[in-house]
Structure 1
Amino acid sequence: GFHLYHKLPSIVPESCLLILVGLLLGGIIFGAEEKSPPVMNSDVFFLYLLPPIVLDAGYFMPTRLFFENFGTIFWYAVVGTLWNAIGIGISLYGICQISAFGLTDITLLQNLLFGSLISAVDPVAVLAVFENIHVNEQLYILVFGESLLNDAITVVLYNLFKSFCQMRTIKVIDIFAGIANFFIVGIGGVLIGILLGFVAAFTTRFTHKIRVIEPLFVFLYSYLSYITAEMFHLSGIMAITACAMTMNKYVEENVSQKSYTTIKYFMKMLSSVSETLIFIFMGVSTVGKNHEWNWAFVSFTLLFCLIWRALG
């Protein structure tokens, strides 16, 4: 019913409605069984639900416009994300020092960890409005490209602060190593993605007699790039994005029209299913007894998100 009303997506994002559906389901489960609903395992999210979404975004990325505006996109994605994460983290740490809020046990690193997590953006609603008003392509690709790289930067930054939180003492060399690792993880992931993208392009040159397996190779090599990067502690998101963009440019010339149609619609379907499950589980996991609510922390988080993103 959401898509029957054409003006609704520009007013209320689909993700918000899915979260509300999850809240309703979580409330029903909690009321029926009187225990907290099941929550999504992080491994399920990172290994099964996230890759299809990133693959879809990377494969259908307008590559020419992306690389023409890469400098601006990279600046917004890297510097903008760092600005938001660090700004929000430090601001929340200042709030945590006020004893009246009962948050004095939260450290600076924990706030920075949360700041990196909350800095991820979901531009679906904005892009939907852009499509309706037919905004110029450059503005569209800036928002779309920044959101794609933002996800990758956020995950790398989150893992960096998470490793710092697990250290008993942090030395200066650890900070420099973390900064170096920030770039190594991203660049390494891109190189793995490009390599496997070219392997996929080379493989599909010899499938003209067995067209039925062409879509399989596209999904196989893209997921392999993600798993390989994660196995070497590199950025799986950057890997699958680079692999998808490489395959879009070179594999498309080798596969048949039927295979391309299959790849397109199956990729869109997987991405849509993954996004739906993620947002519904977000709503479901909100209901239950395994949370400790602090309205001051929630309110100031929303406030600082608006302030730091506006300043950035």
Structure 2
Amino acid sequence: MQLFVLIALLVIVSAIYSYINARFVKLPGTIGIITIAIIGSVLTVIADKLDPDVGKRLMVIAKDINFSSLVLNILLGFLLFAGSFNANTKRLKKEMRPVVILSTLSVLLSAGIFGALFHFIGEWLHIRVPLIYCFLFGALISPTDPVSVGNIIKNSKLPVILSTIIAGESLFNDGVGLVLFITILEAIRSGTDNVDLAKTALLFLREVFGGIALGVILGIIGHWLMKTITDFQTIVLVSLSLVMSISLIGAYFELSIPLAAVSAGLFVGDNTINIDDKERSHEALEKFWQLVDEMLNTILFVMIGLQMVNLPYLTNYWLTGTLSIVLILVARWLSIFLPLIFLRRSLNVNYSNIHILTWAGVRGGISIALALSLPASHYRHIILSACYFVVIFSIVVQGLSLNRVIRAGLKHDQP
């Protein structure tokens, strides 16, 4: 019964915030909901200080939610499958080269650049975090969030090419970032002097390629099952079981669930399940997963705001948070610029697009979930608090100003 109460309260709060935004605030979905959720969390903290009994009741949702586990083990698979299922695969294939570069090489570069800058500049500002933990922070904050990016570029005036590149990058780079995060965390646990490079590389390759293989195999099986029937209720159940199977099998064999979900979603979405010209099961399934995507997005961003209740120390890290915001933007810019120097002829991107690609690199719930999963240490609060600053800034500030950056960038392109 406790689980039902928790889910019911979460859905009710999500519905209230969504209604307030749609009826009164009228900001783009993601930006409006997380803004309202943050205000709600601040009011909850104030209520707790004024009347602990009232505050305790208001905090019950945030206190009882294991945000990290819920996002990484349950929501992430559904959100990535839904996003990739509804992706425009024709455009994505056409822009696959820059997507692959941004979702792999750029993520690794960004994590390394951010980690190094955060460590050395932090030392100068008396923010002392070991270099290995700085790289760990870089790994969790460098990947862009497909949920946040998808919602924000939906309301932007991005050219089709850049929109496809940014959306495609966000689908794949979470898997790479998550694997990099796990690899560095394993190195910290085993001790930097005892790191087995061969074992670490094998772990990285198994997570990445094993996850992609799992997604393709289960995608082929799921697609065949759905294509052989016409009962839409059963088709929906098969698609849901496909995502759940990815989560269960991926967790058991320690394969990348994000990459598996994206691979399966792209395969199933790109291959119709319509049996004849009159049958429209595939189009109906697209609408179903679009609805699932929007509902889970709302719930996810409400949870992000609610989790602030669990971080009473957040206001102690204004300097660290501000530094992190500046450095992740610098690292993002450099991670795009450096590959572009050598690969400009083969990429459909020019130098003036770097500013747009940098500003459109929005972080979200996955970064926070990874930060919350960090084991207890002297540096956990620093990383978690700074991560919240970056995520809130990127969603609210970058999201609201993205169209201005786009107009400036496109104007610069004009002769």
TM-score interval, smaller chain: 0.7 to 0.9
- Once the two structures are overlaid, the 10-residue window that deviates more, 119-128 or 296-305, is 119-128
Paired letter, 2:133:
Q
Equivalent position SS for 1:230: helix
Q: Deviations over 1:114-156 (max 9, x none)?
A: 11111132424651344xx3x4432221011011112222211
- Aligned match of 1:27: 45
**Is 1:46 the counterpart of 2:65 in the alignment?**
no
Matches within 5 A, 1:59-70: 59-70=85-96
- Aligned match of 1:94: 120
- Deviation of 1:276 after TM superposition, in Å, equals 2.0
Equivalent residue for 2:28, pick from 3, 6, 9: 9
- Aligned match of 1:229: 250
- Deviation of 1:241 after TM superposition, in Å, equals 0.9
**Is 1:82 the counterpart of 2:105 in the alignment?**
no
Say if 1:192 and 1:239, in contact at 8 Å, map to a contact too: yes
- Deviation of 1:23 after TM superposition, in Å, equals 2.4
Paired letter, 1:30:
D
Say if 2:44 and 2:309, in contact at 8 Å, map to a contact too: yes
- Deviation of 1:254 after TM superposition, in Å, equals 4.0
- Deviation of 1:3 after TM superposition, in Å, equals 4.4
- Deviation of 1:95 after TM superposition, in Å, equals 3.3
State TM-score, norm by structure 2.
Answer: 0.65
User: 1: CA distance between counterparts of 2:34 and 2:155?
Assistant: 15
**Is 1:239 the counterpart of 2:260 in the alignment?**
yes
Say if 1:120 and 1:151, in contact at 8 Å, map to a contact too: yes
State TM-score, norm by structure 1.
Answer: 0.84
Q: Deviations over 1:150-182 (max 9, x none)?
A: 22222111111111111124346x234323432
Equivalent position SS for 2:63: coil
- Aligned match of 1:152: 175
Paired letter, 2:265:
A
- Aligned match of 2:394: none
**Higher relative contact order, chain-length normalized (CA < 8 Å, sep 6+):** 1
- Deviation of 1:273 after TM superposition, in Å, equals 2.6
Shift in CA distance, 183/65, structure 1 to aligned 2, threshold 3 Å: farther
- Once the two structures are overlaid, the 10-residue window that deviates more, 37-46 or 70-79, is 37-46
Say if 2:179 and 2:204, in contact at 8 Å, map to a contact too: yes
- Once the two structures are overlaid, the 10-residue window that deviates more, 285-294 or 263-272, is 285-294
Matches within 5 A, 1:282-301: 282-288=304-310, 291=313, 293-301=316-324
User: 1: CA distance between counterparts of 2:228 and 2:86?
Assistant: 24
Shift in CA distance, 159/25, structure 1 to aligned 2, threshold 3 Å: farther
Over aligned residue pairs, what C-alpha RMSD do you find? 2.9
Give identity over the alignment, percent.
18
User: 1: CA distance between counterparts of 2:38 and 2:25?
Assistant: 20
Q: Deviations over 1:1-23 (max 9, x none)?
A: 5446898439x834542542552
Shift in CA distance, 302/15, structure 1 to aligned 2, threshold 3 Å: farther
User: 2: CA distance between counterparts of 1:89 and 1:260?
Assistant: 44
Shift in CA distance, 281/126, structure 1 to aligned 2, threshold 3 Å: closer
Matches within 5 A, 1:1-312: 2-3=21-22, 8-9=27-28, 13-14=31-32, 16-24=34-42, 26-27=44-45, 30-31=48-49, 32-33=51-52, 37-38=62-63, 40-41=65-66, 42-98=68-124, 101=126, 103-104=127-128, 106-121=129-144, 122-124=148-150, 126-130=152-156, 133=157, 135-171=158-194, 174-208=196-230, 210-254=231-275, 257=279, 259-260=281-282, 262-288=284-310, 291=313, 293-312=316-335
Gaps of 5+ in 2: 1-19, 336-415
- Aligned match of 2:399: none
Q: Deviations over 1:204-236 (max 9, x none)?
A: 24323x443111111211321232122211110
Shift in CA distance, 96/63, structure 1 to aligned 2, threshold 3 Å: same
User: 2: CA distance between counterparts of 1:97 and 1:90?
Assistant: 11
- Deviation of 1:251 after TM superposition, in Å, equals 4.7
